[in-house]
Amino acid sequence: MTRTPSDVDVVLPCLNEAEALPWVLERIPPGWRALVVDNGSTDGSAEIARACGATVVHEPRRGFGAACHAGLTAATAEVVCFCDCDASLDPSLLVPFVREVRDGEADLVLGRRRPRGRGAWPAHARAGNLALARLLRRRTGLRLHDLGPLRAARREQLLALGLTDRRSGYPLQMVVRAADAGWRIAEHDVPYLPRTGASKVTGTWRGTWQAVRDMSRVLGEPPAHGGGTVR
């Protein structure tokens, strides 16, 4: 994972993902930097990440958004990607996403999760995601199908969005504020695999409900001027 100034940073929020980390980090494209944001792991995740060549960022404040934003602020590359750290998504799938951003074809590229294998995406989590996608359409006009974690955009543009959510609403707030700012947003199918280890959010009704509640709060933000487009 050697790095040059023109390479890409991949933010990997991490809470007790020791079992999944080697698989994920093996799939970081050559020349890109893996930023594993340890969010209070107790299973040695940080040590495993370092041993695999990743840069470890510590974020003591619990929350998916807190971890993602700590990674974004620690990043230095022109393009920053986000990917879950539980082996449900292959970070090598981000290569065409980055190319699309760099070629100026889109400002934000999202992965639309397509489940592969039994139990990859529980019915209650899928239903919650669908409901939020419909609410997002009403709020912004964007006809997205998923609000998944696999995504790529330019670092400076992301920082300029002024994202404030530090819980499960962070991914949605990114899309909402990008749409309000008139970003071009693209969505592409990606395979979604059964995660390694226990889920902190979508594996339980309670976790899904908490995520939906966090995201619903984001949708209540007053819209700014502008309007995004989706491809």
What is the per-residue pLDDT across 81-125, written as a single tens digit (0 to 9) for each? 999 999 999 999 999 999 999 999 999 999 999 999 776 777 777
At 37, list the tokens: 């944001």
pLDDT attached to residue 224: 65
Q: How long, in residues, is the chain?
A: 231
CB 149 within 8 A of CB 83: yes
At 208, list the tokens: 């899904």
pLDDT tens per residue across span 197-220: 665 554 455 655 566 676 767 777
pLDDT of 187 strictly over 80: yes
Range in 35-39, 159-163, 212-216 the model is least confident about: 212-216
Closest of 171, 151, 179, 9 to residue 79, by C-alpha: 9
Q: How far is CA 72 from CA 49, 85, 135, 174, in A?
A: 18, 15, 26, 12
- β pairing state of 108-115 and 151-154: antiparallel
pLDDT attached to residue 197: 64
Residue 77: strand, helix, or coil: coil
The enclosing H or E element of 208 equals helix 205-219
Q: What angle do CA 174, 79, 111 make, to 5 degrees?
A: 55
Q: How far is CA 33 from CA 81, 144, 199, 204, 227, in A?
A: 10, 29, 25, 32, 32
Confidence of residue 135 (pLDDT cuts 50, 70, 90): confident
State pTM to two decimals. Answer: 0.87
Q: Higher confidence at residue 97 or residue 229?
A: 97
DSSP string, 123-187: HHHHHHHHHHHHHHHHHH----S---S-EEEEHHHHHHT-----STTHHHHHHHHHHHTT-EEEE
pLDDT attached to residue 221: 75
User: What is the mean pLDDT of the segment spanning 124-141?
Assistant: 84
CA–CA gap between residue 193 and residue 36 (Å, rounded): 20
Residue 215 backbone phi and psi in degrees, to 5: -70, -35
Q: How far apart are the first and last CA of the chain?
A: 32
Work out whether the CA dihedral 50, 54, 57, 58 comes out positive or negative. negative
Residue 76 backbone phi and psi in degrees, to 5: -130, -10
CB 50 within 8 A of CB 56: yes
